[in-house]
Structure 1
C-alpha cells in the first residue's frame, strides 16, 4: 500500500484539469485524493492507479463479468458517435445547462458517460466549464480521458459510490445510463442541476418489427420520476428527435448499443439487418429531463 505522505509522482500523469482532480475522493473512505508514486492516494493510505492513458482507476471490489462496455463495444459506439448521429443530444444538453446555470456551468460530471462524447459537446459549447466522465468500463475511460482538454475520466461504479467530494458538481449528466439518485444528490451542489436523457416511446421504431427489438417501456418517464422523487424535483422535459439515414453497419451498431443486443445473437442480428434497405431511415427520439436537487 502506498503511503499518503509521498510527495513525488513518477507514474503515469492524470489527464484532467486541476480543478477536477481536486474534487476526487477516495472510493474506500471518502478522503480527498492526491498524487503519489503509484498514482493517487488518500490520507488513510488507500492507493489507486493512474492508467497510461491518463484516467484514474477508482473501482473498488470485484467487478462482475460483462459489466461495462467491452473494447469492441466502445469502438462501435465511438464510430457511431463520431459520425454525428447523436450530436443533437449533446447540443441539447449544452443548451439546457446554459438555460439553467448560465454560460459557465463550472464542473460537469457525466455518469455512465462512456467515451466522453456528450461531455465533449457540452465543453465545446461552454468554454468556462470543466468536466469528468465516470464509467465502469476501462475501455471507455481510455477514450474519455483524451476526449477533451478540459475533461478527464475515472473508472467508477455509481452503485458503489461516485469518487467525488460532496457538493462538488454544478451539473450531472446521465444519458442512457443507470441512475443512483442518492449519489447524484450527494455530489451535486444545492444549486446544481441534473440532466437525464432516456429513449422516447418511438425511439428506433422503424427497426422494431424487422429486427425484433424490445419495446420501450411506455411508463419510462413515470418510472424515472419515481426513481428520483425523493432526491430531485422536476423542472421540465423536452422531446428531441432526428431522422437518421443509416448504413447496415450503423444499424447493427445502434442496436448493439441498446438492451435489445442482449436478446438477439450477433449472427441473427446480421442476418436480419442484411434484409433491410440501405441506407435505412431510422428515427432517434429521446426525452431530456431537467431536475433540481431537493433540500
Structure 2
C-alpha cells in the first residue's frame, strides 16, 4: 500500500512525481534528483526551506497522547470517524489523507481491515515516529498543513482532520470529485469541569458556523453528528489529557505534577462534532 500512496505524492521542490527506492536506504526520489531519505523510524521529512514556524508537539506531549488514546477514552470517536471515512473507500485504489495524523491513532482505525492506501501529515517528528510504527504501510510525512500539500490534484478520496488545522483550498485541490472531508471539532461544554482545572481553553460559541464559513466556496456540508463521551478521570489521566493538546505547550512542570498528583477522580463529558463535507 505504501507504493500506491507514494504514487500520489509530489516533490515539494519541483512538484514532479516520486518513486520509492528501497536500497541502500528507503528513499523518495523525483526525476529532478531531489532525494528524501526515510528516518530510521520510517517516516519522511519533506519540509524544505524555512521549514515551519509552528511549534511541534514534544516527545513528552506525544507520549501523553498515546497513553490517553491507548486507554480507550476516545474509542467511540475513532469508530465514528472511521465510519464516515469508510463510506467513500472502494478498494485498493482508494487513498485517505490524515491531515494532522499525530500518533496515527484515528487513521489506523479508519483504514484497518481495508485495502486503501493512506498519507499521514504532521509537523511533529515525535508523533510521526509513533505513527510510522502503528501504520508502517502509510506514507507518514513531516509537513506543514498550511503550505501547499505534497500531493497531486484529484488523488484523494477522503481527508480526515481530527483536532488539526485546515487548509480548505488545498484539501479541495487534492480530493477527487465527490471526495469527502471529515472534520472533528469540540463543542461548547467540552470537558467542562476539567478544562479549567487543567488550564485548557474553553470552546467558544459559534465554532461550527466559523468552520462552515471557512470552507465556503470549496466544500458543501452533507452531515453533522454530535457525539458525547462520558469520562471519569483520575489525576494522571487528567494530566495526560491536558498535556497532549495545545495547552501542553504552556503547562509548567509544576502544574502538570499537581494535576497528576490529584487524589480522586473527576467526571466530565467529551463533546465532539463530526462534520462531513463534499467538494463543491
Normalization by structure 2: what TM-score? 0.90
1:245 equivalent to 2:232? Answer yes
- Residue 68 (structure 1) aligned to one of 56, 67, 89: 56
1:80 equivalent to 2:68? Answer yes
* 1:220 corresponding residue in structure 2: 207
Q: Assess if the C-alpha contact under 8 Å between 2:6 and 2:20 holds in 1.
A: no
SS in 2 for 1:146: helix
Distance 1:229 1:106 in 2: 26
Q: Assess if the C-alpha contact under 8 Å between 1:144 and 1:152 holds in 2.
A: no
Q: Assess if the C-alpha contact under 8 Å between 1:211 and 1:273 holds in 2.
A: no
Distance 1:65 1:95 in 2: 34
Residues 208-233 of structure 1, C-alpha deviations (whole Å, 9 max, x = no match) = 34345321021111111111112111
- Residue 8 (structure 2) aligned to one of 14, 19, 23: 23
- Residue 161 (structure 1) aligned to one of 145, 148, 151: 148
- Residue 123 (structure 1) aligned to one of 81, 105, 111: 111
Deviates more, 1:143-152 or 1:54-63: 143-152
SS in 2 for 1:210: coil
- Residue 267 (structure 1) aligned to one of 225, 233, 254: 254
Q: Assess if the C-alpha contact under 8 Å between 1:232 and 1:293 holds in 2.
A: yes
Over 3 Å counting, the alpha-carbon distance change for 1:26 and 1:103 in structure 2 is closer
Normalization by structure 1: what TM-score? 0.86
Over 3 Å counting, the alpha-carbon distance change for 1:293 and 1:173 in structure 2 is same
- Residue 19 (structure 2) aligned to one of 13, 34, 56: 34
Shift in Å at residue 102 of structure 1?
A: 5.6
Over 3 Å counting, the alpha-carbon distance change for 1:83 and 1:47 in structure 2 is same
Shift in Å at residue 43 of structure 1?
A: 1.6
1:57 equivalent to 2:48? Answer no
Alignment of 1:101-120 (within 5 A): 101=88, 104=91, 106-120=94-108
Shift in Å at residue 106 of structure 1?
A: 1.9
- Residue 159 (structure 2) aligned to one of 172, 185, 191: 172
* 1:97 corresponding residue in structure 2: 85
Q: Assess if the C-alpha contact under 8 Å between 1:146 and 1:152 holds in 2.
A: no
Deviates more, 1:232-241 or 1:34-43: 34-43
Distance 2:139 2:220 in 1: 29
Aligned length: 276
Distance 1:143 1:50 in 2: 14
Over 3 Å counting, the alpha-carbon distance change for 1:43 and 1:228 in structure 2 is same
Q: Could you say which structure has the greater relative contact order, defined with CA pairs below 8 angstroms and 6 or more residues apart? A: 2
Distance 1:259 1:55 in 2: 23
Distance 2:228 2:237 in 1: 17
Deviates more, 1:192-201 or 1:127-136: 127-136
Distance 1:110 1:288 in 2: 15
Distance 1:141 1:250 in 2: 22
Residues 135-175 of structure 1, C-alpha deviations (whole Å, 9 max, x = no match) = 11111111111213543311111111221111111100000
Shift in Å at residue 65 of structure 1?
A: 6.6
Residues 199-253 of structure 1, C-alpha deviations (whole Å, 9 max, x = no match) = 1111111213434532102111111111111211111101011112222111011
Over 3 Å counting, the alpha-carbon distance change for 1:259 and 1:143 in structure 2 is closer
Distance 1:209 1:73 in 2: 19
- Which consecutive residues of structure 1, in runs of 5 or more, have no partner in the other structure? 1-15
